[in-house]
């Protein structure tokens, strides 16, 4: 029974419109399998507008210095979490009402300590399928090349495992979501997949960190031993050219 699981939801926020954050939090409060606590970690220049949300006793609002980054905010929230499991949600996205129930059911069935749900996207008022990892794509070789569906909004992980692998890598400005999955796999743990646990992404004018292709070099450097990159000037120049091509393709809407 999943009722035995205790879950903390961590939501980092940084200068996000109040209605975005509110919708994210309400999607957590309306889950068919309720979390034990919700931790909002604010690292914005302006204080987050949480309105009357704090009237709910399961919600805690914590503050960090401005713009320390989502990875540090997530890690701080995880450090404050009292539950055995931690779920992460971004402040501009939201969950389907059965996200936690489906995620924890998949975790129990697979006897796993980490699970990813699927990612949908909201466009013009309609929710459309976007990405969902599969057993054949949630592997280290695939994660090194592309993101098959990992994110900071569709992850549930055992707290002990989260800290065993070091949490989110705060030195990575992008691809930190893929790095979490890679580290879980490198630790010898399996990752469950919950295709019926939907996290809905909200496209908007704010830039997402994953678009900053120059930061991806840090990811390549960290995992250069797995990629076969020797670190020479020639090899790194080749990697930079590859990342530049990928950036151009993303701007053109190509995969």
Domain limits of the chain? 2-208, 212-255
Position 201 pLDDT exceeds 60: yes
Q: What is the pLDDT of residues 102-159, one digit of tens each?
A: 999 999 999 999 999 999 999 988 999 999 999 999 999 999 989 999 999 999 999 9
Q: What percentage of the chain reaches a pLDDT higher than 70? A: 85
Q: State the chain's mean pLDDT as an integer.
A: 90
Q: With contact defined as beta carbons under 8 Å apart, do 135 and 176 qualify?
A: no
Q: Which two tokens stand for residue 43?
A: 């690292």
CA dist 20 → 38, 172, 206 (Å): 16, 25, 12
Q: With contact defined as beta carbons under 8 Å apart, do 53 and 59 qualify?
A: yes
Q: What is the pLDDT of residues 25-50, one digit of tens each?
A: 999 999 999 999 999 999 999 999 99
Q: Which two tokens stand for residue 94?
A: 């939201």
Instruction: Note the CATH architecture for domain 2-208.
Output: Alpha-Beta Complex (3.90)
């Amino acid at each position: 029974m999943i009722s035995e699981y205790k879950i903390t939801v961590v939501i980092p926020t940084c200068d996000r419109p109040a209605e975005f954050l509110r919708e994210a939090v309400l999607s957590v409060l309306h889950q068919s399998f309720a979390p034990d606590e919700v931790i909002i970690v604010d690292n914005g220049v302006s204080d987050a507008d949480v309105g009357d949300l704090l009237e709910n006793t399961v919600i805690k609002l914590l503050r960090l210095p401005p713009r320390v980054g989502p990875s540090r905010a997530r890690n701080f929230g995880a450090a404050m979490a009292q539950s055995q499991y931690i779920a992460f949600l971004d402040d501009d996205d939201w969950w389907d009402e059965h996200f936690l129930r489906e995620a924890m059911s998949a975790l129990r069935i697979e006897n796993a300590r980490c699970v990813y749900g699927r990612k949908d996207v909201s466009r013009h008022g309609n929710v459309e399928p976007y990405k969902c990892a599969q057993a054949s794509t949630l592997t280290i070789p695939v994660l090194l090349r592309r993101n098959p569906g990992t994110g900071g909004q569709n992850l549930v992980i055992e707290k002990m495992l989260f800290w065993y692998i070091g949490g989110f890598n705060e030195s990575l400005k992008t691809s930190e979501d893929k790095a979490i999955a890679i580290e879980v796999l490198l630790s010898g743990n399996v990752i469950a997949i919950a295709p019926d646990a939907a996290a809905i992404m909200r496209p908007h004018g704010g830039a997402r960190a994953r678009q900053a292709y120059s930061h991806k070099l840090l990811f390549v450097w960290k995992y250069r031993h797995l990629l076969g990159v020797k670190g020479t000037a020639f090899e790194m120049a080749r990697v930079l050219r590859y990342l530049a091509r990928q950036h151009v393709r993303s701007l053109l809407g190509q995969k």
